[in-house]
């Protein structure tokens, strides 16, 4: 096939403007496709990552504004299958300006291993230093922070500021932009209120999660602070559920973009092949089999479509990289990226556009009577 | 008409048409383009098929090259019967045995003279270096060794036709078939092409079958076969003939 490459590339160069425009239109549509398809894929991946989670989030029934007494901790720890309990306080401070806000929480230093699967670094220092904090990668990048740096957060909910030293980072996990510091520092600064907005509970087996959730809520039923416990997967699913309709719409629009550009590419391929029908007839008359002609024409079309696909994927990939630097507004999607699967899928779609747009006109040209074609053209 | 008296056998024939008829459907009408034609064209001869428009010249050529099929009758080229070959077989056979030259040259405009001539060789298993050697020889044979890198738009009509002839001979085919090769050329260029074809016949022992309207061609060929309204009327010696070169069996 390599000996035909010169022929293929020379044919591609015969109408540069048309091919460049076709490549760009395919690139734009596949950029849209890869971006739109990335959203549900990313969300599904987030959910899949937490399906086997052994963590439970226990909050008050009345909502996050109402804290639970930290004294619940030993009662929770006593429930069968519970292996660790971490109280979490939502501090809600701001860094520099109001617009520089990101989630900041406090937890017990000894329980930081609760989130060991989130790629924590500097855990040892966190356990040693009372003012230590760990900062998620997204926040580190956004404010150009570095390990060892001292930062101050101004309290908005609580009337005090905290001065923290970054001792490590949080490299992955479902919340890519936040900060976590020590609960004992919070208690000291707040005057020991003895509260927790959430308890994160780890159990010994993911299969007992529903059972432990029920036991937790039963434990505190009819108390002054009743609880509602959900699995980590359900909590994330709840957040993502708000975006579900947009994700379906995104998938549909991605498909529409592909179909639309497929029709445009088919029209372009048909025009291109029609213009060359006499050449095709001549090539067949000098012995080129129909199969080779078909392969050459479809090959040209696939090169055009794949070029568009590569450009579209590249732009989408690069754009998300830029967004990821400073896009807390994307909420749980702040670490949105084009997954390798979607990149492969987009390139496969590009190849299919190339294949199907050219196949019908190319096959017709490769099969048409040589005599009739030469007579019509002459 | 000076019909020749020598009877040639199929073994010595480059082309044999045996009671060949070709009909076409044009809407509700049936057009009989060739009507029971029987003729033999000897090997290593340069022959012209002549006749008025609509006489069936090009149809005959299409049957000889296998790009069209006879409605009835038998077509054999180089001793091989091609009427029974399927599309794949006929394409492979054509690539090996037939060199085609068209009236309007039909070069690929985006390819250089070298690449146009190389085109049929892409169907072979020759290495790139061997292809280069063959192409250079072919272009040298047609007098365009210094125009290899030129695109068709950079060549004159006569030069384009020479490139087309180079493309036709590069695979060393059994038969060179030319459809009105001088039809789109001025008198000087036309004569040059006819001289080139004559040289190819004498130097390389090629069998050349040429369809033409051009009466000047008669002095270059060995035999002229005449058709009228799809019927083969006979053969006569051309100007290049020193002896009878064809036997014919006029169809009934």
Tens of pLDDT, residues A57-89 = 999 988 777 889 999 999 999 999 999 999 999
In chain B, what residues touch A279 (CB-CB under 8 Å)? 106, 108
Contacts of B64 in chain A (CB under 8 A): none
The whole-angstrom distance between A303's CA and the closest CA on chain B is 18
- DSSP 8-state class, residue A101: B
**Cα(A351)–Cα(A303) distance, integer angstroms:** 8
A54 touches A237 (CB < 8 A):
no
> What is the C-alpha to C-alpha distance for residues A217 and A226, in angstroms, rounded to an integer?
7
Shared domain for A347 and A283, answered yes or no, is yes
Residues A35 and A63 in one domain: no
What CA–CA distances, in Å, run from A66 to A211, A215, A231, B6, B63? 25, 21, 20, 117, 93
- CA B166, distance to chain mean position in Å, is 13
User: How far is it, in rounded angstroms, from Cα A16 to Cα A164?
Assistant: 59
Q: Give yes or no for A280 touching B (CB within 8 A).
A: no
Among the ranges given (A17-21, A213-217, A235-239, A349-353), the one the predictor scored with the smallest mean pLDDT = A235-239
CB-CB under 8 Å, A374 with B123: no
Question: The tokens of A224 are what?
Answer: 């002054």
Per the CB < 8 A criterion, the answer to whether A181 and A121 are in contact is no
Which positions in chain A touch B70 (Cβ < 8 Å)? none
Alpha helices in chain B (DSSP H): 57-65, 87-97, 113-118, 128-141, 157-169, 187-204
Alpha carbons A341 and A37: distance in angstroms, whole number: 10
User: Could you tell me the pTM of the whole model?
Assistant: 0.71
Token code pair at residue A108: 């017990």
> Which member of A278, A285, A378 has the closest CB to residue B67?
A285
pLDDT value, residue B7: 44
**Which tokens sit at A121?**
């670094």
The DSSP bridge pattern shows strands B231-237 and B223-228 to be: antiparallel
Same domain, A80 and A185: yes
Compute the Cα dihedral for A210, A213, A218, A221 and give only its sign. negative
A288 and chain B in contact, CB less than 8 A: yes
Q: Does B180 touch chain A (CB under 8 A)?
A: no
Local structure of residue A1 (DSSP, 8 states): -
In the beta sheet, which residues pair with residue B46?
Answer: B208
Q: Which of chain B's residues have a Cβ under 8 Å away from the Cβ of A3? A: 122, 128
Is residue A160 domain-shared with residue A268, that is, in the same domain? no
User: A287 vs B91: CB contact, 8 Å cut-off?
Assistant: yes
Is the residue at A22 inside a domain?
yes
CA–centroid distance for A40 within its chain: 8
ipTM topping 0.90 = no
Q: How many CB atoms lie within 10 A of CB B184?
A: 16
| B7 CA: distance to closest CA in chain A (Å) | 32
Domain that holds residue A196: 55-204
pLDDT at site B135: 95
| β-bridge pairing B46-50 and B223-228 | parallel
Cβ contact A371–B102 (<8 Å): no
Give every CB contact of residue A1 below 8 A, 6+ residues apart in sequence.
A295, A299
Per-residue pLDDT of A338-372, as tens digits, reads: 888 889 999 999 999 999 999 999 999 888 888 88
Contacts for B16 with CB less than 8 Å, ≥ 6 apart = B10, B39, B40, B41, B74, B75, B76, B77
Supply the DSSP string of B85-150, one letter for each residue: --HHHHHHHHHHHEEEE-TT----TTS-HHHHHHGGGGGS---HHHHHHHHHHHHHHTT-GGGTT-
Q: Is A360 on the interface with B (CB under 8 A)?
A: no
- The more confidently predicted of residues B34 and A40 is B34
> Which pLDDT tens digit goes with each residue over B176-223?
999 988 888 888 888 888 998 898 888 888 899 999 988 888 889 999
For residues B91 and B107, what is the distance between their CA atoms, to the nearest angstrom?
19
pLDDT of residue B127: 92
Regarding whether A282 and A154 lie in a shared domain, the answer is no
Whether residue A216 lies inside any domain: the answer is no
Return d(Cα A98, Cα A62) in angstroms, integer. Answer: 27
| pLDDT: which is higher, B238 or B118 | B118
Rounded to a whole number, what is the distance in Å from the CA of B226 to chain A's nearest CA? 22
Q: Is the dihedral of CA A227, A233, A236, A238 positive or negative?
A: negative
For chain B, say whether A279 makes contact (Cβ under 8 Å). Answer: yes
What pLDDT, on a 0 to 100 scale, did the predictor assign at position B2? 39
Whether the predicted pLDDT of B226 surpasses 50: yes
CB A349 within 8 A of CB A31: no
With respect to residue A237, please indicate whether it lies within any of the assigned structural domains: no
A183 in the same domain as A93: yes
C-alpha–C-alpha distance, residues B197 and A174, integer Å:
79
Q: Is A8 on the interface with B (CB under 8 A)?
A: no
Give how far B92 is from chain A: nearest CA, Å.
6
DSSP string across A112-133: GGGGGGGTB--HHHHHH-TTEE
A345-348 long-range Cβ contacts below 8 angstroms, 24+ apart? A345/A34, A345/A37, A346/A30, A346/A33, A346/A34, A346/A37, A346/A309, A346/A312, A346/A313, A346/A316, A347/A306, A347/A309, A347/A310, A347/A313
Q: Is A374 near chain B, with CB under 8 Å? A: yes
Same domain, A191 and A309: no
- How far from B204 is each of B35, B45, B64, B105, B130, CA to CA, in Å? 34, 11, 21, 22, 19
Partner-chain contact B110 A14, CB within 8 Å: yes
Residues A66, A44 share a domain: no
Closest CA to A293 of A278, A280, A305: A280
Q: Average pLDDT of chain A? A: 87
Measure the CA dihedral B143/B146/B151/B154, to 10°: -90
* Same domain, yes or no: A256 and A373: yes
The tokens 């599309």 sit on which residue?
Answer: B87
Number of domains in chain A: 2
Closest Cβ–Cβ partner in A13, A286, A371 for B120? A286
Give yes or no for residue B245 having a pLDDT over 50.
Answer: no
DSSP state of A290: H
Minimum distance, in Å, between the CA of residue B67 and any CA atom of chain A: 6
The whole-number pLDDT of residue A138 equals 81
Q: How far is B235 from chain A (nearest CA, A)?
A: 26
- Please indicate if any CB of chain B lies within 8 Å of the CB of A1: no
Distance CA A376, CA A361 (A): 17
> CB-CB: which of B94, B102, B110 is closest to A287?
B94
| Beta partners for residue A257, in sequence order | none
CB-CB neighbors (< 8 A) of A289 in chain B? 87-88, 91-92
A356 CA: distance to closest CA in chain B (Å): 24
Question: Residue A56 and residue A85: Cα distance in Å, rounded?
Answer: 9
Of the residues A178, A204, A230, which one is the last residue of a structural domain?
Answer: A204
Q: Which of B23, B67, B120, B181 to mutate to test the interface with A (most CBs of A within 10 A)?
A: B67
Q: Are residues A41 and A93 in the same domain?
A: no
Of B104, B111, B119, the CB nearest to A286: B119
Looking at the fold, whether A109 and A189 belong to one and the same domain comes out as: yes
At B14-59, the pLDDT tens digits run 899 999 999 988 777 888 999 999 999 999 999 999 999 889 999 9
Which of A4, A11, A283 is nearest residue B110 as measured by Cβ atoms? A11
**Total residues found in chain B within this entry:** 252
- What fold is seen in the domain B45-67+85-237? Rossmann fold (3.40.50)
Place of tokens 């009877």: B7
Is residue A226 in some structural domain? no
Residue B100: both structure tokens together: 């085609």
Q: Is A5 on the interface with B (CB under 8 A)?
A: no
Residue B242 reports pLDDT greater than 80? no
Which residues are A53's β-sheet partners? Answer: none
Reported as a single tens digit per residue, the pLDDT across A278-312 is 889 999 988 899 999 999 999 999 999 999 999 99
Least CA distance to B122: which residue of chain A? A3
Alpha carbon distance A46, A240 (integer Å): 9
Cα-based distances in Å from A317 to A31, A200, A310, B149: 9, 34, 10, 42
- Cα(B210)–Cα(B187) distance, integer angstroms: 17
Share of chain B above pLDDT 70, in %: 90
Residue A112 clears pLDDT 90, i.e. is over it: yes
Query: Residue A289's closest chain B neighbor by CA?
Result: B91
Q: Which residues of A touch B111 (CB under 8 A)?
A: 7, 10
């Amino acid at each position: 096939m390599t000996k035909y490459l010169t022929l293929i590339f020379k044919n591609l160069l015969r109408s540069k403007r048309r091919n460049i425009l076709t490549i760009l239109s395919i690139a734009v549509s596949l950029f849209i496709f890869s971006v739109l398809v990335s959203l549900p894929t990313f969300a599904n991946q987030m959910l899949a990552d937490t399906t086997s989670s052994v963590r439970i989030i226990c909050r008050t029934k009345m909502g996050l504004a109402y804290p639970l007494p930290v004294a619940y901790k030993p009662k929770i720890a006593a429930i069968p299958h519970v292996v660790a309990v971490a109280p979490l306080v939502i501090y809600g401070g701001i860094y520099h300006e109001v617009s520089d806000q990101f989630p900041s929480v406090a937890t017990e230093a000894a329980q930081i291993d609760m989130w060991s699967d989130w790629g924590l670094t500097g855990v040892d220092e966190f356990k040693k230093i009372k003012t230590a904090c760990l900062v998620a990668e997204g926040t580190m990048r956004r404010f150009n922070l570095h390990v060892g740096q001292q930062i101050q957060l101004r309290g908005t909910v609580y009337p005090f500021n905290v001065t923290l030293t970054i001792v490590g980072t949080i490299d992955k996990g479902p919340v890519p932009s936040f900060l976590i510091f020590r609960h004992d520092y919070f208690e000291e600064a707040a005057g020991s209120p003895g509260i927790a907005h959430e308890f994160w509970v780890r159990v010994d087996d993911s299969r007992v999660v529903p059972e432990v959730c029920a036991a937790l809520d039963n434990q505190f039923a009819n108390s002054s602070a009743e609880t509602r416990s959900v699995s980590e997967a359900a909590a994330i699913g709840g957040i993502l559920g708000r975006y579900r309709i947009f994700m379906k719409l995104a998938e549909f629009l991605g498909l529409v973009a592909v179909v639309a550009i497929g029709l445009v590419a088919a029209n372009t391929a048909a025009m291109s092949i029609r213009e060359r029908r006499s050449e095709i007839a001549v090539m067949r008359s000098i012995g080129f089999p129909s199969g080779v002609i078909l392969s050459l024409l479809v090959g040209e079309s696939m090169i055009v479509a794949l070029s568009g696909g590569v450009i579209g994927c590249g732009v989408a990939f690069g754009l998300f990289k830029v967004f990821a630097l400073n896009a807390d507004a994307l909420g749980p999607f702040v670490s949105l990226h084009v997954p390798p699967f979607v990149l492969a899928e987009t390139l496969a779609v590009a190849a299919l556009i190339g294949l199907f747009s050219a196949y019908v006109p190319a096959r017709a040209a490769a099969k048409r009577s040589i005599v009739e074609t030469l007579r019509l053209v002459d | 008409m000076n019909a020749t008296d020598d009877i040639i056998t199929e073994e010595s024939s480059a082309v044999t048409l045996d009671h060949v008829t070709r009909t076409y459907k044009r809407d509700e009408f049936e057009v009989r383009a060739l009507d029971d034609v029987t003729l033999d064209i000897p090997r290593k001869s340069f022959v012209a098929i002549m006749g008025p428009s609509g006489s069936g010249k090009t149809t005959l050529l299409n049957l000889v090259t296998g790009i069209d099929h006879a409605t009835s009758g038998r077509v054999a080229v180089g001793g091989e019967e091609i009427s029974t070959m399927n599309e794949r077989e006929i394409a492979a056979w054509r690539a090996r045995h037939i060199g085609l030259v068209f009236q309007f040259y039909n070069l690929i405009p985006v390819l250089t003279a070298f690449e146009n001539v190389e085109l049929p060789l892409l169907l072979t298993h020759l290495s790139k270096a061997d292809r280069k050697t063959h192409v250079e020889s072919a272009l040298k044979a047609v007098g365009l060794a210094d125009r290899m890198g030129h695109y068709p738009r950079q060549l004159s009509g006569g030069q384009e036709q020479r490139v087309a002839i180079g493309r036709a001979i590069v695979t060393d085919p059994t038969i060179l078939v030319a459809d009105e090769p001088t039809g789109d050329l001025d008198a000087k260029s036309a004569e040059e092409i006819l001289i080139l074809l004559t040289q190819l016949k004498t130097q390389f022992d090629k069998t050349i079958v040429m369809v033409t309207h051009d009466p000047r061609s008669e002095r270059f060929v060995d035999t002229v076969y005449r058709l009228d309204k799809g019927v083969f009327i006979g053969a006569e010696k051309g100007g290049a003939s020193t002896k009878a070169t064809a036997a014919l069996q006029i169809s009934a």
